[in-house]
Amino acid sequence: MLAICKNKTREFEAVCKRNGLALTIQRRVILECLASRIDHPTADQVYDDVADKIKGVSRTTVYRVLETFVSIGLAKKISNPESKARFDADTTRHHHLTCTNCGVVIDLFDNDLNNLRLPAGIEKDFEIADYSITFTGTCSACSGRLLDEKSK
Amino acid sequence: MLAICKNKTREFEAVCKRNGLALTIQRRVILECLASRIDHPTADQVYDDVADKIKGVSRTTVYRVLETFVSIGLAKKISNPESKARFDADTTRHHHLTCTNCGVVIDLFDNDLNNLRLPAGIEKDFEIADYSITFTGTCSACSGRLLDEKSK
DNA sequence: TGTCGTTTGGTAATAATTGTCAAGAAGAAA
DNA sequence: TTTCTTCTTGACAATTATTACCAAACGACA
């Protein structure tokens, strides 16, 4: 995890430089915060984290910086059925288990799923850059909770 | 398409009855509207459609009814990276091409993709109910547009 | 260190969604 | 079909999520 963060920091500096973006404290801390989490936080959740570390950060800045990260490829917005954006600093191909009960999003890494044979002929109408599979269902925490409620 | 709508209407009546829900004009029209579209509209887009057909519908009602449809299985919220919910009356397994430029969501039906071999051992920690693949990239309309802009 | 263009913070505005509650319709019973 | 009960809706207020704006502050480079 630490190694990942270190690499991410180096990537951050390189990508910012390449894109002519200043290395500000805000960008640095927001990236660190996002990269250290595996729970695909919303912008507001990132803000809550960051607010403890930088006195007086603005919510606006967090939203703006996250958007910047997406545009330069340092982060991704992940697909989810909620009506708010969730961010992920891991931009490599992987998939998600999302609990329809509590909304938690769990990463799923799987080599076979990363190398699907795509249906022939699509590329004519749509240039596919990447894909991600969203598995919907019930996480183990919610399974237990739901069973408990039924047994009452 | 008409046949699909007819089936959907029958399903609508059956499912409402089974769940003890009244067959109101609002629910009927909202379902018809959603089922007749293939573009995965947001709640507001559905509202715009429905507002023409029922005098004085409330936006609240549209949001509420769509949520009801999801809870009784007549519709799904589809996963997308935007910060608003999109709905789909087709609850059978299928996948989506979403354009990262304009946001359009195109259906993709493919037998192979519908029968993926899931990684072993997951089911212990997460009960998978279904899955859907989101392909991200550029739709043909945007490809053309982006090329045009470059050539200027 | 000074300059200059980039970024940020604060606030207001907008978009998306939800909560509340009285009035109005559906469905069952008579 | 009329009445009654309960489910739904509509109007409006309240939240939540996100964006726009602009003056002040900061980072990069000479």
Q: Are residues B73 and B10 in the same domain?
A: yes
Q: Do A79 and B134 touch (CB under 8 A)?
A: yes
B70 and B96 part of one domain: no
Q: Give, to the nearest 10 degrees, the angle between helix A2-18 and helix A25-35.
A: 140
- CB-neighbour burial class of residue A27 (10 A; exposed 0-12, middle 13-18, buried 19+): buried
Global pTM value = 0.91
Is there a single domain that holds both residue B61 and residue B114? no
The C1' atom of D2 and the CA atom of A53 lie apart, in whole Å, by 69
Smallest Cα distance from B151 to chain A, Å? 19
* pLDDT higher than 90, residue A144: no
Per-residue pLDDT reduced to its tens digit, A93-132: 999 999 887 788 999 999 999 999 998 888 888 999 999 9
Residue B152's pLDDT band (cuts 50, 70, 90): very low
A139 → closest Cβ in B76, B84, B126:
B126
Q: Is the CB of B83 under 7 A from strand C?
A: yes
pLDDT band at A152 (very low <50, low <70, confident <90, very high): very low
Report the nearest residue to nucleotide C25, CA vs C1'. Answer: B24
Q: What is the pLDDT of residue B123?
A: 85
pLDDT value at residue B146: 67
Q: Is the CB of B47 under 7 A from strand D?
A: no
Query: Residue B98 belongs to a domain with what CATH number?
Result: 3.30.1490.190
Mean of the per-residue pLDDT values of chain A: 91
Q: Specify whether the CB–CB gap between B64 and B103 falls below 8 A.
A: no
Count CA atoms closer than 13 A to B139's CA, side-chain side: 14
Residues B54, B25 contacting (CB under 8 angstroms): yes
Whether B69 and B11 share a structural domain = yes
Q: Which two tokens stand for residue B38?
A: 């293939």
Q: In the β-sheet with A105-108, what is the strand arrangement from edge to edge? A: A105-108, A95-99, A126-139, B126-139, B95-99, B105-108
In this complex, the answer to whether residue A18 has its CB under 7 A from any atom of chain C, a nucleic strand, is no
Q: Among candidates A27, A19, A21, A22, which has minimal Cα distance to A8?
A: A27
State the residue range of the domain holding A43. Answer: 2-87
**CB distance A136–B129 less than 8 Å?**
yes
For residue A100, the chain B residues in CB contact (below 8 A) are 129
- Domain tally, chain B: 2
Test A131 with B129 for CB contact under 8 angstroms: no
Whether any strand D atom is under 7 angstroms from the Cβ of A68: the reply reads no
At A21 the pLDDT is 97
Note whether A77 and B81 are within 8 A (CB). yes
* Within a domain: B118: yes
